[in-house]
Structure 1
Amino acid sequence: MGIVVAKSNLAPRGTAEHPDIEVIQNVNFAIKAGMAQFFLDANQVHCDVEAPGNDLKTPDVADVARNFSVQVACEVKK
C-alpha cells in the first residue's frame, strides 16, 4: 500500500526565451505502508493486514488493484 503525498506540477514550464524546458511526469512521492498503518491505528481506523502472497507480474497487480483502488485528490487553493 502506498499513499501519494506529493506530485510534480504538470503546468508548462517553457517560456518564449526558453521553450525547450520539459515538464517532469510520473514522479511521485509516497509514504510506506507501515506509516499508513500507524496513522490508521492512531485514528482508530480498522483495516485487515494479510501475510504477503505470491509475487505477481505488473499487469496482474493492476487487475487485482482495480477492484479496490480509488483516487482522492486534494488541492491547495491560494
Structure 2
Amino acid sequence: MTRPTLRKWFKRFKESGIDGLCELSRRPHKIHHKITKEDEHRILDLRINRNLGHRSITSEMKRLYESSISTATVYYS
C-alpha cells in the first residue's frame, strides 16, 4: 500500500469512523457545461436530416446558431 493511500484512508477514518472507509463514488459532483434541450434537438436535427458527423455538426452549430459545443459533446449526445 502506498503512503498517499494510507494517509487518505487514515484521514477518512478520523473524519467518519469505519463508515469513512467504504468505497466512494468517483462520479463528478457537478457538470459545469451541460447542453441545453434546444441545442440537443438542433444536433439531432443536423444528424438525422442532413446526415452529418460530429465534426460537421460542431461547425454547423457554430455557424448557424453561434453555439460553441465541443466535438466530444456532439459525439456522445
How high is the TM-score relative to the length of structure 2? 0.26
Query: Greater relative contact order: 1 or 2 (C-alpha under 8 angstroms, separation 6 or more)?
Result: 1
Structure (1 or 2) with the greater strand fraction = 1
Higher share in helix: 2
What TM-score do the two structures reach when normalised by structure 1?
Answer: 0.25
